[in-house]
Structure formats: structure tokens, C-alpha cells
Amino acid sequence: MQPIWNKIIKIVPLWIAPNLLTFSGFVMILFNYFLISFYDWDYTASGTSPGRVPTWVWLFSAFTTFCAYALDSIDGKHARRTQSSTPLGELFDHGLDSWATSIFVLSFFSVCSRDNGKTGVSVYTMYIYLSIVLFNFMCSHWEKYNTGVLFLPWGYDISQVVLIAAYLLTGTVGVEVWQKPLLFGYYITDVLVILLIGFSLFLSFPQTLYNIHRAHLKKTLKNDSLYEGLLPLVSPLLLFVLLTVWVVLSPSNILAKQPRLFLWMVGVAFSNVICKVIVCQMSSTRPEPLHWFLLPLALLVCAAVSGLLGPAEEAALGILSALLTAAHLHYGLCVGRQLSEHLNIYIFSLKKRVQE
């Protein structure tokens, strides 16, 4: 894709801050997610109610996905072009990516629809699919935490191209294309899930382990201790365990009742946990063993699976999702403001701060 990005970067005015490109791409992804959610809150529009989502929405989704993909690919080039590369820009880019990763996936689920007995993907498959994607993202930054190098395989580029193609296909042919067997009785969604698991288990994760092992042999690891090296994985893994316990043991089958809200909460929680790992990796500091999100989540999961919440489980999920989202936004704003003051720069402008 580099030839395309090299042409696009030439039309970006030099006075635009790189962070503005990054943020614009994220806003487009977020707007597209809320637009799809408006028409398809429960992930059934493409299955039981074809046509509920207008054709223009799918075409608009392809457009916004491409724009976000392009802006995310040229923001670093633009930073080097304007000589404005900063740690704030790196954190801003990776931090928003950690959230956008889940939003991309949640938007795509509306294309393939949830299981309706004949076609579609079960909500449990959606949860596993999202978890695998977030696991891959986490592994990339865990690798950088240990090696100091962020190695990104072609999986990201492939996923973006597949997303854009899926939206274009849905907009031009219709959602019915996802409800017809592709080959040997397998649907397109089945093929995509198999490819995702295959890429993750046999390409992405082994590559991460290989890169860390190679750094160990070259004695270039940033952390000599096995404990220190594995520490960033503790909170994400505990988070996954707690969420999985809730999904499996929920008396009201919370994931089936509120799939969009639950998966949104999963994405926000993972994003905040990963953001703190990114901060530690950039500042060469030790991550906290247990993220504070784990405590309220553990209490809520215990109350839910024990039946203590009863019919209030959905309301509790809504409150937790709102609180985690607010806490994540607050964290991002505080870190951005502190870094901009420390580096004497503005987040969305190339002008220097006037020191008081």
C-alpha cells in the first residue's frame, strides 16, 4: 500500500498536525460504528431483516474505513515530513488504535449478522473473534515492551482491505451474499473466522515469540527477568478470564441479550489495559501487576453469576459500560494534556506552547 500512501501524503497541507490526521480517522470509525448501531443494535438486520440497513450505509462504511486506514497509515509519514515526531504522537496513534481495533470488528459483525438458526455467526463466536483480534494487538505491544521494536505483520493491512471489500460487496450485492454457502457448504463468515484463527495461531503469535527469542539470543531484551517480561500479560489475561466466566455462567445469558453493549465494554476495557502497557513500554517503566478495572469487574461478575443481580444484570452491564468508557476517556485526556504540557506542544497544532 506504500505507493498509495506516498501519493496521498503529498496533498496533506504542511500546517496540519499529524495528531489531527490520527484523530480524524478515529472519529470517522466511531461515527460509522454509531451509524450502523442505529440501524442494527442487536446484530439481526442482515439476517432476519435484510434491507433494514440502507445500502448507502454499507457504502459509507467502506468509504470511512478506507479513509481511517489511509489517515492511520500517513500520520507517521506526515510527522516525519513536518519534523514533528513526538512521544505524544506515538502514544496518541497507538492508543487510538487500541480502541479502533475493537470498533472495526464490532462494525463488521453487522455485515455477517448474528446466528438466526440458518445463517449468521453466534454471539459466542463474535466474542471469541473479538478476543483473538485484541490478543493479536496486545501481543504486538507486549513484544515491543520486551524488544523495543514494534513488528507489525501484514495482518493489519489484510484486515483493512477485507473490511473495505466486505462493505463494498454488501452495498452492491446485498446482505444475501453472506447467507449463501461459498464452498463445500461453508459460508464466507466461516472462511473468515478460520483464516483469522489460522493467521493468529500459526503466523502472528509464533512470529511474536520468535522475535522475542531472537532478541534474547542477541542479548537485546529490555527485560532480563522472565517475571518482568510476562508482567504486562497478567491484567489482559485476567480480564479475559473474568469476561469469559461472565459470558459462560451468566444466568440471564447476558451476551445473547446485549451483545453490542457487552462487546463494546470488552473493547473499552482491553483498550485501557493495553494503553497502560504502551505507556510503560514507551517510558521504560514497570507496569502495575493488576489493573484497577479488574476489581469492579470481578465484583460485578461474582454478583451476576451467583444470581444476586437477578433481572438487574442488564442494567448493571449498562452502568459498568458507561463508567469504563468515561474512565477510559478521562485517562486519555489526562495523559494527553500532561504530555503536551511536558513537551511544550499542542496536541492538534504544530505551534509551540507559550511558556508562562
Q: What is the mean pLDDT of each run of 10 residues along the chain (356 residues)?
A: 89 91 95 94 76 88 95 91 88 92 92 77 90 90 88 76 90 82 73 76 83 88 86 94 96 94 97 93 87 94 94 95 96 93 88 66
Indicate whether 108 belongs to any domain: yes
| Domain residue limits at 235 | 15-343
Indicate whether 49 belongs to any domain: yes
Indicate whether 4 belongs to any domain: no
Indicate whether 208 belongs to any domain: yes
Beta-strand ranges (E) seen in the chain are: none
Q: Tell me which residue has cell 464452498.
A: 183
Number of domains in the chain: 1
Indicate whether 350 belongs to any domain: no
Q: What amino acid occupies position 318?
A: G
Indicate whether 1 belongs to any domain: no
Per-residue pLDDT, 50: 62
Per-residue pLDDT, 327: 97
Per-residue pLDDT, 180: 77
Ramachandran class of 253: left when φ > 0, alpha when ψ lies in -120 to 50, beta otherwise: left
Indicate whether 209 belongs to any domain: yes
Q: How far apart are CA 286 and CA 280, in angstroms?
A: 6
Q: How far apart are CA 205 and CA 16, in angstroms?
A: 37
The answer to whether 82 and 345 are in contact (CB under 8 A) is no
What's the full length of the chain, in residues? 356
